[in-house]
Amino acid sequence: MDEISLIKNLPAWGIQTKKLLTSLLFKDLKHKNMSSRRTFIKKSGLFVLTSSLPFNYYLPQKKKKLGVALVGLGYYSRDILAPALQLTTQCELRGIVTGSPEKIPVWQKRYDIPDKNVYNYDNMHTISNNPDIDIVYIVLPNAMHKEYSIAGANAGKHVWCEKPMAMTVKECRQMIDACQKNKVQLTIGYRMQHEPVTQTIIGWRKTKPYGNIKSVLAEAGFYNSAGNPSHWKLHKELGGGAMLDMGVYPLNAARYTTGMEPVAVSARTEFTRPDLFKADERTLFQLEFPEGITANCKTSFADSINTLKVNCDKGWYQLKPFQAYGGVTGNTSDKQNLYAFTGNQQARQMDDDALAIINKQPPLVPGEEGMRDIKVVEAIFKSAAEGGKRVLI
Ligand code: NAD
Question: 292-321, pLDDT tens digit by residue?
Answer: 999 999 999 999 999 999 999 999 999 999
- The protein residue whose alpha carbon is closest to atom 29 in ligand 1 is 139
Q: Whose CA is nearest to atom 21 of ligand 1?
A: 141
Torsion of CA 361, 365, 366, 369, to 10 degrees: 140
Residue type, 122: D
In ligand 1, the atom with minimum distance to the C-alpha of 145 is 32
The answer to whether residue 192 scores a pLDDT higher than 90 is: yes
Nearest one of 322, 122, 141 to 237, comparing CA atoms: 141
Tell me if 163 CB under 6 Å of ligand 1: yes
195 lines ligand 1 (CB under 6 A): no
Cα 36 to chain center, whole Å?
Answer: 44
The residue count for the chain = 393
What residue type is assigned to position 98 of the chain?
T
Cβ of 142 less than 6 Å from ligand 1 = yes
Per residue in 336-369, pLDDT (tens digit) is 999 878 899 999 999 999 999 999 999 999 999 9
Best of 71, 73, 76, 369 for a ligand 1 pocket test (most atoms within 8 Å of beta carbon):
76
Of residues 266, 264, 271, the one with CA closest to residue 242: 271
pLDDT above 80 for 15 = no
Q: Does the pTM exceed 0.75?
A: yes
Confidence of residue 34 (pLDDT cuts 50, 70, 90): very low
pLDDT band (50, 70, 90) for residue 49: very low
- Ligand 1 in reach of 99 Cβ (< 6 A): yes
Q: Give the whole-number percent of the chain exceeding pLDDT 70.
A: 84
Nearest to 220 by CA among 255, 257, 251, 192: 251
Residue located nearest, by CA, to atom 43 of ligand 1: 76
Q: What is the pLDDT of residues 253-271, one digit of tens each?
A: 999 999 999 999 999 999 9
Dist. CA 72 → ligand 1 center (Å): 7
Mean pLDDT of all residues in 271-300: 97
Q: What is the pLDDT of residue 38?
A: 38
75 CA to centre of ligand 1 in angstroms: 7
